[in-house]
Amino acid sequence: MNKRYTSLKEIENDFPIRLDHQVVWGDMDAYQHVNNVVYFRYFESSRSKLFLDSGIDGLYKESGIGPILAKTDCKYIRPVMFPDQLTTFARIQKDSITKDSFVLDHLVWSEASGAPAALGTSSVVFFDYRAQARADIPISMLDTVKSYSG
């Protein structure tokens, strides 16, 4: 993610998934900022919303094929403290879509600082849970996957 975002409006134009949430006291660590592991929960929530909104989640119920997380990472930009209102965004990287996988971009925006607090990625692989093996993204789902790309 090379673009530097300076407003929520810019981000909303590039990211189809948006989740708003409050920082809660229990998210903080002994150093009085949001603990590093909490950002992965923020990413998970936005990833899950993308799966639900796109219908990817429903594939599993129909065919046993669904997404599985292969890798995730986070770049912490600035500390976040209680109280703050955060917005977590997600999108699929357009150039990352292959026959059986894609990569999601995540961005966490801090209202208190008026700037991004963290950036991350999630590598997602389609998986046949019955056969316990990688699976191709169903052709019927490919256009939908592309529609969630930035």
Higher pLDDT, 48 or 61: 48
Q: In this predicted structure, what is the pLDDT of residue 18?
A: 97
Confidence of residue 3 (pLDDT cuts 50, 70, 90): confident
For 17-36, write each residue's pLDDT tens digit: 999 999 999 999 999 999 99
Q: Place 54 in a pLDDT band, splitting at 50, 70 and 90.
A: very high
**What's the pLDDT score for residue 146?**
95
Residue 92 confidence (pLDDT) above 90: yes
Per CATH, the architecture of 8-147 is what? Roll (3.10)
The three-point CA angle 104-39-112 to 5° equals 110
Q: What is the mean pLDDT of residues 94-122?
A: 97
* Per-residue model confidence (pLDDT) at position 44: 98
Mean pLDDT, the chain, rounded, equals: 95
pTM of the predicted structure, to 2 decimals: 0.94
What does each C-alpha distance from 60 to 7, 19, 24, 112, 130 come to in angstroms? Answer: 36, 23, 33, 39, 10
Maximum pairwise Cα distance, the chain: 48
pLDDT at 71: 98
Rounded Cα distance between 47 and 136, Å, is 19
**Does position 112 have pLDDT exceeding 80, yes or no?**
yes
Higher-confidence position of 4 and 46: 46
Please determine, for residue 4, whether its predicted confidence score (pLDDT) is greater than 90: no
pLDDT score, position 6: 86
